[in-house]
Structure 1
Amino acid sequence: MRSLRHWWDDTAGGLPATFWYLWAGLLINRAGAFALLFLSLYLTEARGASESLAGTVVGAYGIGGAAGVLLGGVLADRWGRRATLLAAHLVASGLMVALAFSRHLVVIAVLAALVGVAHSMPSPAFVAAIVDVVPERRRSRAFNLQFWAFNLGMAVASLLAGLLAEASFVALFLVDAAATLAAAVVIALKVPETLSGGRGRLRISARRTVRVRTADGVRPPGLRTALTDRTFLAFVGLTLVLAVLTLQTSTIMPLAMRDDGLRPSAYGAVVALGGVLIVLGQLFVPRLIDGHRRDRVLAVSTALLGVGFTALAFADALAVYLAAAVVWTVGQMLAAPPNAQINADLAPPELRARYQSVFYLAFPVASFVAPTLGGVSLQYLGERHWLIVGGLGFLAAVGHLVTGPARERRVAALRRATTDIREPALAGEN
């Protein structure tokens, strides 16, 4: 009992109440965000759209998502984290109700794009708020719990979506809207604004010009700062590779399993195994990686993804796919905490949400690159496609080892710069 309590304190202890309310809001949000999983099926079965038209509408959702992460980052730094989260959740809830009762395909496409914006806006605000309230030494734990909540919510969403879609597509959208509204209520009642005020934080006034000192020099604050930060963009590029690798499981792997003569239930088993491993094992990851350099942890994790996907070049039976899934899922689990923490550490406090928005751009880009290039590669290269995917994982592992020391120097320089700015700012307020 004592060892269990010690493990729990080490895994989730020392985190402020605001974090747990943010965590609860994220969990509710993910558990309820299931309608879009069945959007293409809804369009083809209930609205008579062709497969190509359905793909175009779903693509509109992805385009909206790319715009949403940038908009969410800018608003979270200007309006505040809480205001951005509330606005995004309330708008998303209303849009889902509109989707439930829309009939015209053009209207549905426009609404899907707007839902993509609203669904993506909270991501940078959630992460920025977590960084605002969680002490630096506990952030790895916080991000590990965030990743766990995200995957647990998605697992619940997948189960609920299947049941609701069989009963009623309208109910699918309405329950999604209700869950999104419930997350908004939690945020409205329990999450304070974390951007301004509070001891030790910098207050930014829109009426005066603040210049942000980074390792590369002093720049005026704005989205352009993140988009021209070479060290940060190198890390985002490696995260893009990680995202492209991860998305192989939902975009290209089903096609490969079909070509191997495996049924859809086999694909479901592989995906379910990954979800179960994350839900059961993610809470043990922090103790496993503590004391190890983050660049080395990320190198090992991306190498494991490389090994797992390389194995698919030789897979022709479900057992091989399941074994490979174990390997790449362990890689995903190891990567989650250090990846999120490095992303947070590289961001100047004044531009925390903007940096998050640029970071999260990697995921909609990956959602386009993975199926587009992956489909061509699988069609013309066959099983050799997986050798290329595995090779990308190994190259990313080397990339983390090469760029890791520079990232750590960047973080140290940013901490010194932040201290230099904070002291006169606080003196002026006093």
Structure 2
Amino acid sequence: MRTMRGWFRDTTGGLPPTFWYLWTGTLINRLGSFVLVFLAIYLTQERGFSASQAGLVLGLWGVGGAVGTTVGGTLTDRWGRRPTLLTAHLGAAGMMLALGLAEELWAVALGALLLGMFAEAARPAFGAMMVDVVPEKDRLRAFSLNYWAINLGFACAAVLAGLAAEAGYLLLFVVDAATTVVTALIIFAKVRETRTVPAGPRPDDAPVGALRVILTDRVYLGFVALNLFAALVFLQHISMLPIAMGDSGLSPATYGSVIALNGVLIVVGQLFVPRLIRGRSRSHVLALASVVMGVGFGLTAFAEAAWFYGVTVLIWTVGEMLNSPSNATLIAELSPAALRGRYQGVFSLSWQVAGAVAPILGGLVREQAGNTTLWLGCAAIGGVMAVAHLVSGPARERRAATLRATTRPAVPVAAIRPPTPEAAETAPAEPVEPASAPAR
């Protein structure tokens, strides 16, 4: 018992209150995250759309998400983390209801596009705020705890959504919108702005040359590209897996139960992952994660019964559990403080591009080459990614070490105040650029 208490204290102790407010909001939001899990089934069975039309709608969700993460990353750095989060959550709640009420294909497609834009605009702000408030030494366990909350909510949501769908699909959209509003209220009431700027004589200056810095950061862009391929494989569990299980004669409720195993395993095991991988080479951990994920999705080619599908989900979930905390800490260490929101946005963009491409590409491969080719192709991508992580890992670690050595102290934006009239009279004049100058 004493050992268990010590483990719990080591896992959860010492993290700032803001982290726990964000964690709580994440858990509540994910408990109601029904829609994306069942959207493919909803579109094909309730609305009567074809598999390709459903893939198009899911792809537009990804396109909207790509716009949202790009805009959200910029707003996170320039406007602030808190207002970006509030706007994104409230907009997503409204669009969730609109999507649930839409009937024609064009209305559903437009609703998915706008919902993806608002929902994903929150990602860069949330990620940047987590990095702002959690010290570097605690980030691995903080990101693991947050991922644990995401999947605890997901596990419950997948099961509840299967039951709620029997009562009517509109209920899924209403509950999802309600939990999104609750998360926004928590942020409004408990979370303060955390954006910081480098200490210096001109702290109000916007980052100069932000886009140029990111586009010339080959190490970071290489890392983002690898995540794009991982996401193309991983997101097949939302788009093509429910369709494959339907072809095997399995019901939506069975899909909900099977995919819930993903969340259950993460809830049971994710908090032990930081201790397991602490001190190990991140490139080796990411390579192993890629192989395990590829094997799990590859075995789906041979699945017919629910238990076999469940085994494949458990296998690729282990890869996901290894991948997520290592990815999160690397993003934090590879992002310059002044461009943290934009860097988070670019990383999130890889998920949104995959969200747009994965269902369309998966549908085309499945229709043209067959189910077996789709899943074995996922396994092949996992193997190639593992090699790429081993090759590129040393350059990433050198880049992270360089940033740690050159990062200047930062001060909260909220602490920056205009000088008083008395101070202005005694301070020497100094030319400054307008704070509103656009980043180039």
Question: Fold-level match, TM-score > 0.5?
Answer: yes
Q: Look up the match of 1:402.
A: 391
1:317-366 deviation per Cα after TM superposition (whole angstroms, max 9, x unaligned)? 55544433332211111111111110111110001011111101111222
Amino acid at match of 1:8: F
Q: Is structure 2 residue 400 aligned with structure 1 residue 411?
A: yes
Query: How far, CA to CA, are the matches of 1:410 and 1:386 in structure 2?
Result: 35
Q: Look up the match of 2:352.
A: 364
Query: How far, CA to CA, are the matches of 1:236 and 1:263 in structure 2?
Result: 36
Q: Is structure 2 residue 113 aligned with structure 1 residue 113?
A: yes
Query: How far, CA to CA, are the matches of 1:35 and 1:203 in structure 2?
Result: 46
Structure 1 residues 54 and 321: CA distance shift in structure 2, 3 A: closer
Q: Is structure 2 residue 131 aligned with structure 1 residue 144?
A: no
Q: Is structure 2 residue 341 aligned with structure 1 residue 353?
A: yes
1:313-328 matches, cutoff 5 A: 313=301, 315=303, 319-328=307-316
Cα shift at 1:40: 5.6
The TM-score, its normalising length taken from structure 1, stands at 0.85
Residue pair 2:140, 2:274 contacting (<8 A) in 1 also: yes
Q: Is structure 2 residue 317 aligned with structure 1 residue 329?
A: yes
1:247-286 deviation per Cα after TM superposition (whole angstroms, max 9, x unaligned)? 2333334455566x46346655542322221111111111
Consecutive unaligned residues in structure 1, runs of 5 or more: 211-219
Residue pair 1:21, 1:186 contacting (<8 A) in 2 also: yes
The one of 205, 209, 227 equivalent to 1:208 is: 205
Amino acid at match of 1:324: T
Cα shift at 1:168: 3.9
Structure 1 residues 298 and 28: CA distance shift in structure 2, 3 A: same
The TM-score, its normalising length taken from structure 2, stands at 0.83
Residue pair 1:306, 1:389 contacting (<8 A) in 2 also: yes
Q: Look up the match of 1:292.
A: 280
Residue pair 1:11, 1:287 contacting (<8 A) in 2 also: no
Query: How far, CA to CA, are the matches of 1:44 and 1:363 in structure 2?
Result: 24
Residue pair 2:161, 2:256 contacting (<8 A) in 1 also: no
Query: How far, CA to CA, are the matches of 1:387 and 1:59 in structure 2?
Result: 22
Query: How far, CA to CA, are the matches of 1:133 and 1:373 in structure 2?
Result: 39
Q: Look up the match of 1:95.
A: 95
Amino acid at match of 2:165: A
Q: Look up the match of 1:16.
A: 16
Moved over 6 A (4+): 44-51, 203-206
Q: Look up the match of 1:344.
A: 332
Q: Look up the match of 2:376.
A: 387
Cα shift at 1:227: 3.2
Residue pair 1:227, 1:358 contacting (<8 A) in 2 also: no
Structure 1 residues 166 and 323: CA distance shift in structure 2, 3 A: closer
Moved more, 60-69 or 26-35: 26-35
Cα shift at 1:86: 0.8
Structure 1 residues 162 and 316: CA distance shift in structure 2, 3 A: closer
Amino acid at match of 1:133: V
Cα shift at 1:140: 0.6
1:56-108 deviation per Cα after TM superposition (whole angstroms, max 9, x unaligned)? 44433222111111111111111111111011112222333444555665444
**Number of matched pairs:** 412
1:172-187 matches, cutoff 5 A: 172-187=172-187
Q: Is structure 2 residue 226 aligned with structure 1 residue 243?
A: no
Amino acid at match of 2:360: T
Residue pair 1:132, 1:194 contacting (<8 A) in 2 also: yes
Residue pair 1:204, 1:350 contacting (<8 A) in 2 also: no
Residue pair 1:139, 1:341 contacting (<8 A) in 2 also: yes
Q: Look up the match of 2:214.
A: 226
Consecutive unaligned residues in structure 2, runs of 5 or more: 420-426, 428-440
Query: How far, CA to CA, are the matches of 2:276 and 2:64 in structure 1?
Result: 38
Q: Secondary structure at the match of 1:277?
A: helix
Query: How far, CA to CA, are the matches of 1:332 and 1:19 in structure 2?
Result: 22
Cα shift at 1:26: 1.4
Amino acid at match of 2:250: R
Structure 1 residues 22 and 203: CA distance shift in structure 2, 3 A: farther
The one of 293, 296, 312 equivalent to 1:308 is: 296
